[in-house]
Structure 1
Amino acid sequence: MLKELRIQLTLICSTITGLILCVICLIALQISETNINKSNRIAFENQLQTITYQLQTYQNIKTSWLAQLEASNKLIISIEDNTHPLFFKGSWTPITPRDTLIQKAHQTALEDYQFDIDTPPTSRLSISKQFFKIQGDEGEYYRVGVALIPSYKGSFSLTLLQDMSIEKASIIYTRILFITISLMGILLLSLFSYWFAGRAILPITINQQKQVQFIAAASHELKSPLAVIQSNTSVIKSHGHLDNQPFIMQIEKECKRMARLVDDLLLLATADAKTWSIRKKPVELDTLLIEMLDTFIPLANGKRQRLNLNLPEYTLPPVLCDDERILQAITILLDNALHYVQEGGTITIDLSMPSDACIIKVIDNGPGISPSHVSHIFDRFYRVDASRKDKNHYGLGLSIAKEIIHLHSGKLSFSPTPGGGCTFIIELPT
């Protein structure tokens, strides 16, 4: 499902960005073609102006200069002096015969623009010009300029044509270039979209993996007590003459374990749904810890462990928090320490209050946690003992404790105890 989602996001992103890129390229192509056409048109008009200036100034033009001008610019030049053509064969051969093109240019000028090349100019001061395009017999296009140039002996008529195939080839090359750039851009955008979509759904992928692991772990934990209950029930049914009390006690024990697990799961589900509320009130944490210590000292003595409480010598101000939830979080940390610290070990609860926070530390000198496990200790159902032989701990306690502290806008962290062991640190805002 996530793979399909990634492909869909990639297609959507690629389509939108591809369309935007295509629009930008089309606009840029239009501007580029307009500039190419404009620059060629201006160059053509300048060439006509250059020939006109030569005719007005020198009255005659060298054919070698005309040949060079024609060849370098793909021009066709026809000059008439008082309707008498200038003897010039041209320097190159167009696809359509030169005479045919010149005649078609004169005809188009007369029919479409009423510009008669054979009519003397009415003014001796101004030059009459007309620019247009014609098509040759083979479908090729020519830019045309016709002009009537007055002189003291009469007038010159100039017909100038330029083969537009080079300009057309330039435009085609530009289009191919823009299409190639667009396709490469779309390809790169698609690759980026695929990578970006993967990054975007990464949290969903991680959450889905965690959900699968959570369900698998919860199913495993629930399956164990149910199997015990089922087996004991079968024994009771099949051996009615036996003393059923031990089997019933085992069933009750497993039911309590399962009820505790379900309560923890519901608690975490409530936290995930953001419906887990806390009731804050001023709490004297030193008094809370002293009362809690009285509960755990018998347990510590039973395992020959030393349980210490370090309190500041000065009076601590009350802290705004939910005393039941904070007690629950500290109890989880202390219960873990009592469970994992060997006989003769020491567990210390340290309370301090710097200027901006209240810090509670649960310190032990037990076996500690391997660095490879540290990043996962707050994950749900995660236990250092991967075999899950311990039936009293499900790997949910630290997750619950972290949720409780988080709801208080605090922080629960871990650091190794110098010399070996674990130190869990609760930071609560004051």
Structure 2
Amino acid sequence: MLGRLRRQLTVLAALLTGGVVLAVAAATFWLTGRLYTAQRQASFEAVVSDLSGQWLRTGTLDLEQLRQTAQRSGIGLYFEENGAPLRLSGLAGTAGTGSELCAQLDRQGFDCKASPSQSESILLPHATADGQAVRAAARKQPTENGWHLLVVWQLLAAERRTLALAGAGFGCVALAGVALVTAVCWVVAGRAIRPVKQAMQSQKDFVRAAGHELRTPLGVLRAGLAVLEKEDAAAARRHIGLLDAEAARMGRLIDQLLILSGGGMVQSSRPQLLEPDTLLLDTAEAWEPAARQTGRPLRCDLPPCALPAVTVCREELCQILAIFLDNALRYAPPGTAVELRCRAETGRIVWTVADHGPGIPPPVREKVFRRFWRAEESRADRRHFGLGLSVAAELAARCGLALGVDETPGGGASFWVSAKL
């Protein structure tokens, strides 16, 4: 569908733009041809005027100069004096052509045999001589001994050949321009529909990723329910509370997925004052059954001194830690521990989830929080499309939290989220 749309856009744009290119090329060729023809005709008229003026001033004809002029300008010459043709040596073969042109001039009202009382001239842009198209001019000039007639003609074959070559050149340039415009339109159309294509692909990936993200709290719920069968009443009540919190968090996750999909705007939870170490212990207790089932023990590392209370959006922070824990339990080698830490730094509290898995190379650490990004090692797992970390980044941005990823000492990835005191 998108391919056909791209072709249709290309054809439409190429027709419109190509039509303009062809029109401009045709207009340019027409104007260039007119200017070239006018220039040739002006040059021809200048030669006629010079020859006539020289004959009138000197009363003689320099045969060598006439031959050079005829050769240089590509013209033919015919002379009459008092109605009698002048047969000039070196210009043989022009008498018949001159007589033929005189007959055509007579039909145009220019009597070549009549004695003029004053200078007369005529120009025929299109005439025929010896079966060839020519440009012809004639001038009669009275003299002391009678009058002179000068007929000059120029073959149009070379001029028309030049115009034909120019037309072919303009045509090739125009076709090349249309081809270039078509190629540009194809590229532009491809870029124009690229966001649509990406949006459609993202929509498909989003549906798959949503299923993955929803399985995370469901897995915790199922693991907790399995533990309930083996717990006493007091422990069961405690786990029920934790499971209820996970169920509520799953509802919040659905809301966050709607935000990422553009399907709605979900309000953040209200910030509240909480104890960082208490939050860490609650998170560890909620995830301990799931960690035990995956064969990756969950260790909770608390500082020796109590940490100061911090005001944060509890639900969003818990969701971020849940996303970090899910990734750690997924990619850490079986049997290796996943560590949950909390510490105080200058002006902030930092929660960290560290694993001893393959880790994330420094060049791609900024990319892991992009939507649907996955490390190369995970591309064979079609169930995971990297939405979790993008959800974490969105949650952190809305709640004023900072997050990132560092290397775990000894190998692995340490995802952290921090809140200002």
With normalisation by structure 2, the TM-score equals 0.70
Q: In the alignment, which residue of structure 2 is the partner of 1:9?
A: 9
2:319 counterpart of 1:332:
no
Deviations 1:221-240 (A, max 9, x none): 999x99xxxxxxxxxxxxxx
Q: 2:337 aligns with which of 334, 337, 343?
A: 343
1:429 and 1:208 map into 2 onto residues whose CA distance is: 39
1:389 and 1:204 map into 2 onto residues whose CA distance is: 23
Q: 2:389 aligns with which of 398, 407, 410?
A: 398
2:19 counterpart of 1:27:
no
Q: Is the 8 A contact 2:369 2:393 kept in 1?
A: no
How many Å apart are 1:119 and its aligned residue?
Answer: 4.3
* Alignment CA distance shift 1:262-1:153 (3 Å): farther
1:39 and 1:179 map into 2 onto residues whose CA distance is: 23
How many Å apart are 1:364 and its aligned residue?
Answer: 2.4
Which runs of 5 or more structure 2 residues have no equivalent in the other structure?
219-228, 231-244, 289-296
1:52 and 1:12 map into 2 onto residues whose CA distance is: 60
Q: In the alignment, which residue of structure 2 is the partner of 1:305?
A: 300
What is the identity, as a one-letter code, of the residue corresponding to 1:208? M
How many Å apart are 1:263 and its aligned residue?
Answer: 6.4
Q: In the alignment, which residue of structure 1 is the partner of 2:233?
A: none
Q: 1:211 aligns with which of 203, 217, 225?
A: 203
Q: In the alignment, which residue of structure 1 is the partner of 2:124?
A: 132
Q: 1:166 aligns with which of 152, 158, 164?
A: 158
Q: 1:201 aligns with which of 193, 206, 226?
A: 193
Q: In the alignment, which residue of structure 1 is the partner of 2:294?
A: none
Q: How many percent identity over aligned positions?
A: 20
Q: In the alignment, which residue of structure 2 is the partner of 1:191?
A: 183
Q: In the alignment, which residue of structure 1 is the partner of 2:134?
A: 142
Query: What is the SS of the residue equivalent to 1:142?
Result: strand
1:89 and 1:258 map into 2 onto residues whose CA distance is: 118
* Alignment CA distance shift 1:258-1:157 (3 Å): farther
2:127 and 2:411 map into 1 onto residues whose CA distance is: 94
What is the identity, as a one-letter code, of the residue corresponding to 1:397? G
Deviations 1:211-265 (A, max 9, x none): 3344456678999x99xxxxxxxxxxxxxxxxxx99xxxxxxxxx9999878645
1:399 and 1:407 map into 2 onto residues whose CA distance is: 12
How many Å apart are 1:176 and its aligned residue?
Answer: 0.8
1:5-404 equivalence runs, <5 A: 5-88=5-88, 91=91, 97-108=97-108, 110=109, 115-123=110-118, 127-136=119-128, 140-216=132-208, 264-265=253-254, 267-273=256-262, 275-278=264-267, 287=274, 289=276, 292-296=279-283, 298=285, 303-307=298-302, 323=313, 326-333=316-323, 335-336=325-326, 339=329, 342-343=336-337, 345=339, 347-348=341-342, 362=352, 364=354, 366-371=356-361, 375=367, 378-380=370-372, 396-404=387-395
Give the aligned length: 383
1:343 and 1:263 map into 2 onto residues whose CA distance is: 28
Q: Is the 8 A contact 2:307 2:343 kept in 1?
A: no
How many Å apart are 1:33 and its aligned residue?
Answer: 0.6
What is the identity, as a one-letter code, of the residue corresponding to 1:347? R
Which runs of 5 or more structure 1 residues have no equivalent in the other structure?
227-244, 247-255
What is the identity, as a one-letter code, of the residue corresponding to 1:306? D
1:359 and 1:122 map into 2 onto residues whose CA distance is: 116
2:420 and 2:135 map into 1 onto residues whose CA distance is: 83
Q: Is the 8 A contact 1:264 1:396 kept in 2?
A: no
Q: Is the 8 A contact 1:311 1:350 kept in 2?
A: no
What is the identity, as a one-letter code, of the residue corresponding to 1:163? L
Q: Is the 8 A contact 1:305 1:346 kept in 2?
A: yes
Q: Is the 8 A contact 2:360 2:413 kept in 1?
A: no
What is the identity, as a one-letter code, of the residue corresponding to 2:61? I
What is the identity, as a one-letter code, of the residue corresponding to 2:392? A
Query: What is the SS of the residue equivalent to 1:136?
Result: strand
1:271 and 1:215 map into 2 onto residues whose CA distance is: 12
Query: What is the SS of the residue equivalent to 2:299?
Result: coil
Deviations 1:342-394 (A, max 9, x none): 437453456656xxxx896636253253449864564449686678799xx99
* Alignment CA distance shift 1:175-1:387 (3 Å): closer
Q: Is the 8 A contact 1:14 1:193 kept in 2?
A: yes
Q: In the alignment, which residue of structure 2 is the partner of 1:236?
A: none
- Give the root-mean-square deviation of aligned CA atoms: 4.9
Q: In the alignment, which residue of structure 1 is the partner of 2:293?
A: none
How many Å apart are 1:173 and its aligned residue?
Answer: 0.7
Query: What is the SS of the residue equivalent to 2:140?
Result: strand
What is the identity, as a one-letter code, of the residue corresponding to 1:169? R
How many Å apart are 1:14 and its aligned residue?
Answer: 2.0
